[in-house]
Structure 1
Amino acid sequence: MTPHVLTREQARRIIVRAELLDAQRPGDVVEVAEQIMQIKIDPTAVVAPSEQTIPWSRIGWSYEPGQLKKAVEDDRVLFEYYGAFRPASLLPAMRQKMEHAALRSGTQTWLDANERFRRDVLARLGAEGPLFSADIPDTSQVSRASDGWSGSNQVPAMLEVLAYRGEVAIVGRRGRQRCWDLAERVYPAETSPLTLDEATAEIEQRSLQAAGLAQPHYHWSGVGKQTGEPAAVEGSSMKFRVDPAALAALDEPDPGGRVALLNPYDRMLFDRTRLVEVFEFTFVLEQFKPKSQRVFGYFAHPILCGDRFIGMLDAEVDRPRETLRVNAIHELTPWEPDEHELVRAEIGELADWLGVEVSGLD
């Protein structure tokens, strides 16, 4: 099939719409998760944790943090897996992928050496679950080398591996502590299980729907080489796959754009190469850089205006003073007066949502 040739403007519009960042806002957090497939979980809360700012940047003022907890723990329409909240509609396909998940050789060796430990963990959850990791004894035979992030207790590592393989699941959280149970008691019973090929095809299709336009088999996209239709973007040598529905929607009325302040862990930013090739925007997360090497700030939020990245917001919440302190607003190119007004308004909306005042804008 001859690739569709898109202008950069068309490619940007497809991506922005797919990421729910155009003027037509979604209604709730479930709608967000259904479309973008995953809401990243991360404890960094310079402004607010990613699992809260990602829905807010799409829904706006009507989003309340409690909506996410309710959707996950009460309504069970979202579930937590591998560092993100995902829609329950993905479970049939993902459970097939979990069952066939391959582990790294070192992890598989560690798991094989701790078979008795694995059985102990499953038995404890079966008899007493749901439980926090601190409630489960460490009966490991072999310890993993420290990665600098985890301690010597092997229970969290075992739970992570078993969750990745679909044997245990997270039922909820108390703050940042995860509560675990057997997957069979958390995930609904499969009435019509998919084959592995069917599951792979569904996940690849949903991934393309979430991205709109993506590189095939790119690590962050999850899109297959035959998913959707081939596409090229003027001025880029990259090969893309495009969602046919998103392509057809280019002929529909354009709801227009708006300003969005994006958490650095937003999936819109995952594919750095796509950002450069389509948006002509280079994004570098400076969180792990020495202070002297930072250009925009420790956890600066990219500013999307319509279909262009126009700046970076360096801001942080000062809870004792109940303020959102704006350290700097970096303009990537000189702004028009209306862009200044729109960005200031969105920062004000963010502060209102956080329940604090704004400082540093004057």
Structure 2
Amino acid sequence: MTHRLTRDEARRIIVRAQLLDAERPGDVVEVAEQLGYIKIDPTATIAPCEHTVLWSRIGWSYEAGQLQKAVELDRLLFEFDGTFRPMSLLPLMLPAMRRWPTHERSRAWLDANARFRADVLAKLRAEGPLLASQIPDTAQVSRAPDGWSGSNQVPIMLDFLLRRGEVAVVGREGRHRRWDLAERVYPSDLPVHPDDEAERLLHERRLQAAGIAKQRSPWTPVGEAGEPAVIEGSPRKYRVDPEALAALDDDGGGRVAFLNPYDGMLFDRPRLSEIFEFDYVLEQFKPKPQRRYGYFAHPILMGDRFIGMLDAEVDRAREVLRVNAVHEFLPWEPEEHDMVRAEIAELGEWLGVPVVGLG
């Protein structure tokens, strides 16, 4: 059976799946379990992505130390590929991790550096956890700098071994990762899944986080998970999470949320355009004269619609949250102005600084 959904219904399903409805989650782990990952990014006009993603869901009770505790002490989350993920996903990821790398160039580099790999693992076994800077570069074959990594081959090898499940990030010192053997970081009693079962379960978890996704979306590949759906005005074939669909009428209402530009809710631009009628462009890498809303403006979600952009930044010299502009896509009602202003005030309280420039 193919479900036929209105745009309103589809939006409500997605907003609830992303924990952006009125019923806020209770803690960091609950957010990670539902979303599947929390993006890590240091750009901090307001706060780093991992923290604004959590604040936009949990609200004023979220503190940065809660994330660190979940990762480094409780081991309920782990770092992988620029994200924090719930440990419950690791068993589903391990079959693909053990097959990595799949590209010939990466396999050739790893094979050519077999002794280097052994050196890194031995150093971690003897002295870990360690920063990358504490591990000697003994590479036999080097990769040229690519703009993301320099000439030192240690970070590249550590990233390769992370993707293979041989090493793990045990914590951070500032923005620098501390590494150790995976066997000393990950639980030893993880369930084992056959490859096809692990892939199926991963698809189900991705659809749970998305609510609605295109079957072969490059942002949210969900395969045959869920049930087929079509959405008014869209020729695309979607999959919908049946549990989210069944709970569609249990609508507790919406709220205001400011979304970090790297929030996973925003990644699937075609879905944003089709279902939310929001053509989002990140202006971070545009020349200043070409920016319409600001260097790192945060989209404003009210209920199940995007209504504007918040251009704000923490002025660390003056210790204030400076509001440069609040852009309205369409003129707001007085109540909408009040709701957005209240959320900005709460953001300032969470950051521990006064708000200036709001008028």
Q: Verify: 1:36 aligned to 2:35, yes or no.
A: yes
Q: Distance in 2 between matches of 1:280 and 1:154?
A: 44
Measured after TM superposition, the shift of residue 107 of structure 1 is 2.0
Measured after TM superposition, the shift of residue 191 of structure 1 is 5.0
Q: Give the alignment partner of residue 338 of structure 1, picking from 315, 330, 335.
A: 335
What residue number does 1:233 align with?
231
Report matched runs for 1:178-197 at 5 Å. Answer: 178-190=177-189, 192-197=191-196
| Amino acid across the alignment from 2:45 | V
What residue number does 2:71 align with?
72
Measured after TM superposition, the shift of residue 195 of structure 1 is 0.6
Q: Distance in 2 between matches of 1:64 and 1:192?
A: 32
Report matched runs for 1:93-172 at 5 Å. Answer: 93-172=92-171
Question: Cα RMSD (Å) of the superposition?
Answer: 1.0
Q: CA 1:104 to 1:290, structure 2 compared with 1: closer, same or farther past 3 Å? A: farther
What residue number does 1:273 align with?
270
Deviates more, 1:190-199 or 1:49-58: 190-199
What residue number does 2:241 align with?
243
| Amino acid across the alignment from 2:234 | S
| Amino acid across the alignment from 2:297 | A
Task: Note the alpha carbon deviations across 1:125-172, whole angstroms, 9 max, x for none.
Answer: 111111110010000111111111222111001101110111110000
| Amino acid across the alignment from 2:201 | E
Q: Distance in 1 between matches of 2:218 and 2:233?
A: 23
What residue number does 1:355 align with?
352
Measured after TM superposition, the shift of residue 102 of structure 1 is 3.4
Task: Note the alpha carbon deviations across 1:299-357, whole angstroms, 9 max, x for none.
Answer: 11000000000001111100111111111111111111111111111111111100011
Q: How many residues align?
A: 359
Measured after TM superposition, the shift of residue 97 of structure 1 is 2.2
What residue number does 1:218 align with?
217
What residue number does 1:208 align with?
207
Measured after TM superposition, the shift of residue 108 of structure 1 is 2.0
What residue number does 1:16 align with?
15
Report matched runs for 1:256-295 at 5 Å. Answer: 256-295=253-292
Q: Distance in 1 between matches of 2:315 and 2:38?
A: 25
Task: Note the alpha carbon deviations across 1:104-141, whole angstroms, 9 max, x for none.
Answer: 33222221221111111111111111111001000011
Q: Distance in 2 between matches of 1:102 and 1:42?
A: 24
What residue number does 1:325 align with?
322
Contact 1:203–1:222 under 8 Å retained in 2: no
Contact 1:92–1:190 under 8 Å retained in 2: no
Contact 2:97–2:165 under 8 Å retained in 1: yes
Q: Distance in 2 between matches of 1:111 and 1:287?
A: 35
What residue number does 1:313 align with?
310
Q: Distance in 2 between matches of 1:232 and 1:82?
A: 32
Contact 2:207–2:213 under 8 Å retained in 1: yes
Q: Distance in 2 between matches of 1:216 and 1:101?
A: 24
Residue identity (%): 68
Contact 1:231–1:241 under 8 Å retained in 2: yes
| Amino acid across the alignment from 1:336 | E
Q: Distance in 1 between matches of 2:136 and 2:76?
A: 31
| Amino acid across the alignment from 1:209 | Q
What residue number does 2:293 align with?
296
Deviates more, 1:87-96 or 1:101-110: 101-110
3-state SS of paired residue (1:251):
coil
Q: Distance in 1 between matches of 2:203 and 2:194?
A: 14
3-state SS of paired residue (1:209):
helix
TM-score, scaled relative to structure 2: 0.98
Contact 2:91–2:190 under 8 Å retained in 1: no
| Amino acid across the alignment from 1:105 | E
Measured after TM superposition, the shift of residue 251 of structure 1 is 2.8
After TM superposition, the runs of 4+ consecutive aligned structure 1 residues lying more than 3 A away are none
Q: Distance in 2 between matches of 1:236 and 1:56?
A: 32
Contact 1:213–1:241 under 8 Å retained in 2: yes
